A and B are shown apart, each in its own frame.
Chain A
Amino acid sequence: MNSPQVLEKRKIYFYTKTKDIFQRLSILSVSARYDNSCSSSGGRRETHPYGLGNSHLSGICHSWSSDGRCISLLKILMTNYCMNNCKYCINRLINDVPRAILSPKEIADLTIEFYRRNYIEGLFLSSGVYRNPDYTMELMLKAIKILRFKYYFNGYIHLKLIPGASAELVKEAFSLADRVSSNLELPTEESLKRLAPDKTFFELYKPLKIVREIYNERKLKAPASTQIIVGATADTDKTIIKLANNLYRDKIVRRVYYSAYIPVNRDSDLPAIVEPPFLREHRLYQADWLLRFYGFSLDEIFEEDENLPLKIDPKLAWALRHLEFFPVEITRADYYELVRVPGIGPTSAKKIIKTRKYCELSDITLKKLGISLKRAKYFITIRGKPVVKISQSQAKALQERNLLLFSESKC
């Protein structure tokens, strides 16, 4: 069944360059907002003597929108006209939505003026596929070239690579931008066939592969990212995280973004959901973090189930499955042992290791350092002593419970 939004192609109206810039900016920012990437970190450009802009290594957030997401870059589409018909996408060809296009110069001017006022850290430029992938990529590159070579702008630029664009254009894009990305959209070929029939996994993956081949720093992950939609198909969390793990292992991307499926179209192939799976998205980010910063392996995260538990985070779930690993003695444990304790992350682990060189650790010292023991206290000891103190009444209750359990087992 077709969506009520669907109109015939001839009825699609197209906002031309004459349309007021306010309206076009509004249309194109609405179309761009479903891209989750917002990071501006990792750039290393210094200001050009005749220009403006540099990048800050750790990235800078300039504002937070009403959905609580950081605004760091001017996130915008060149055009939301698109020749593809991806069923989950607001900009698909058959949708009757206002369409608009910004010229390369307009994009460059807008970026510069927003940047001068310190509203943004740079530009995130994506686009629908207009005419053909090469033509779209060339238009986008024109905007970037105006920024880099006319205005000598050295601020952060994130450029979306258009799947199907030629290798030369991908290389040029990579040389001008600080980060590039190509969204893999869905974790398997079958899912893509079903929801994005114009796309293939190979086509989406190819730009990332080209970037990996030309990136000189072989030891580092390529400065690229990708996004996977969660909950639009029946793919399990393990399938999604396995794909992300392979991308990290092969140093194809620095970051995988997970985007909870938000229904914007009606289609029989799309799931009928009451609420977008935001909690599942959150758990996937937590699992992703465990892989990248906590030294966990894929098999450790998915020992029993193909999906992550929603009620508790994946680290706590692992800890409860592996009580033999605990308690961890925090005066002696190494970094990787410490970060496995629920409630202790990399920052707290580093603080503990640094502090124990100079003074004796105690629960009071840890509190003073700002390390929360709310969850960790059940999994650690300090000089052999547990941190959890049980009151007399609690001890009595525990004794009674044990008695009850004991008598039950006897029966």
Chain B
Amino acid sequence: MLTVFYDGTFEGFLTLLNNFVLEEKSLDGIKIQNAKFIQPQSELFYEEVVTNSEIAKNFFHYLKKNLPKELFEKIYIYYLCDTVKLEIPLINILREIEKNPNIWQDFSYDEVIKLHKAEKAFYRERHRWFGFLRFIELPNRVLFAKFEPKFNVLPKLWFHFVRRFPNEKLIIFDSLRKLLFLYKDRKKELIWMDDFEIEVSLKTDLFVTLWRSYFSQIAIPERQSYERQRNKIPLSIRKFLPEFWKIK
């Protein structure tokens, strides 16, 4: 089996789609991987898609022209659902759409259901991080947040915080994908950054202690249900929430 790698950028994603949709490369025996998560060298037989801005741009215009507006707007979301491997279902739908323009709404196709479910899960994940993202105030009044979302939600998440805190200095870091968002003086930047680390502790911000105290008091003892709490806040994300930090 041949594994095709793309570099995990949106341009790389569009170049990949172009190769399989317009150039009609065969999908038989093909596995597609995002190089952000798995290194190509780890596979025995692999091929790398060379990201080409020009091809990506042209394909983007092709999609804009040929797809229904609603579906076109979802393409970026499908790219951001990077952990559920939507590339092959999407290629299959894009190949079929000329013959059957309504295919993307027909839930009898497994591919359509997979795309639909992923899109819903993406917005659910984003909404979750609207609430779960925790800022810690650094000494220079910069608010710093680190998180590891299931999908690449940061490009669709920062807007919420910039709108909410227009006069603050913000740093939001997706440590799984090494994607960094910076906001200062109403200027914003989204960059891939491999080596970025800020050490934080309880002493960094005194309000963390106050919040932890509030959190422990607000629960009604007679209603205690750790099971319900665990259903809502999975253990995997608790390391990003100061109220769950274990203090020695």
Contact = CB atoms under 8 A, between A and B. Distances in A.
B192 interface: no
A270 to B, nearest CB: 15
A77 B161 CA distance: 28
A49 B186 CA distance: 11
Interface stretch (B5-13, B16-24, B70-78, B106-114): B106-114
B165 A68 contact: no
Contact of B219 (A66, A119, A276, A355): A66
Nearest to A25: B214
Contacts of B163: 46-47, 54
Contacts of B178: none
A52 B166 contact: yes
Given A47-B163, A71-B218, A358-B102, A66 B137 contact: no
A30 interface: yes
A71 B216 CA distance: 12
Interface in A285-338: none
B145 A118 contact: yes
Contact of B229 (A50, A51, A65, A355): A65
Interface string B142-159: 010100000000000000
Kindly name the residue among B218, B227, B229 whose own CB sees the greatest number of chain A CB atoms within 10 A. Answer: B218
Given A22-B213, A67-B219, A368 B107 contact: yes
B119 interface: no
Interface in B199-236: 205, 207-211, 213-215, 217-229, 231-233
A358 B107 contact: yes
A2 B56 CA distance: 79
Interface in A30-88: 30, 32-34, 46-47, 49-54, 56, 58, 60-72, 74-75
Contacts, number: 139
Interface stretch (B34-42, B47-55, B57-65, B125-133): B125-133
A149 B134 CA distance: 26
B228 A75 contact: no
B232 A276 contact: no
Interface stretch (A91-99, A109-117, A225-233, A393-401): A109-117
Kindly name the residue among B108, B145, B224 whose own CB sees the greatest number of chain A CB atoms within 10 A. Answer: B108
A132 interface: no
Contacts of B233: 63-64
Contact of B137 (A33, A60, A117): A117
Interface in B157-196: 160-161, 163-168
Given A65-B229, A68-B228, A33 B136 contact: no
Do most interface residues of chain A lie in helix, strand or loop, or is the interface mixed? loop
A88 B113 CA distance: 52
Interface in A150-183: none
B113 to A, nearest CB: 5
Contacts of B93: none
Kindly name the residue among A29, A64, A70, A74 whose own CB sees the greatest number of chain B CB atoms within 10 A. Answer: A64
A369 interface: yes
B208 to A, nearest CB: 8
Contacts of A119: 134, 211
A358 B164 CA distance: 40
Nearest to A366: B107
A67 B220 contact: yes
B165 A52 contact: yes
B135 interface: yes
Nearest to A263: B222
Interface residues of B, number: 54
B145 A358 contact: no
Nearest to B160: A56
A302 to B, nearest CB: 27
A402 interface: no
Interface in A345-389: 355, 358-360, 365, 368-370
Nearest to B132: A62
A21 interface: yes
Contacts of A215: none
Contacts of B241: 63
A223 B205 CA distance: 36
Given A22-B210, A68-B228, A369-B107, A34 B164 contact: no
B210 A358 contact: no
Contact of B106 (A51, A359, A369): A359
A26 interface: yes
A385 B209 CA distance: 61
A262 interface: yes
Given A54-B164, A64-B232, A74 B214 contact: yes
Given A114-B207, A118-B133, A29 B214 contact: yes
A228 to B, nearest CB: 17
B92 interface: no
A355 B226 CA distance: 37
Given A54-B163, A64-B232, A358-B105, A114 B225 contact: no
Contacts of A355: 107
Contacts of A369: 107, 113
Interface of B: 102, 105-108, 110, 113, 117, 127, 130-137, 143, 145, 160-161, 163-168, 205, 207-211, 213-215, 217-229, 231-233, 241, 243
11 contacts: A54-B163, A62-B132, A63-B131, A68-B225, A116-B137, A116-B168, A117-B207, A355-B107, A358-B102, A365-B108, A368-B113
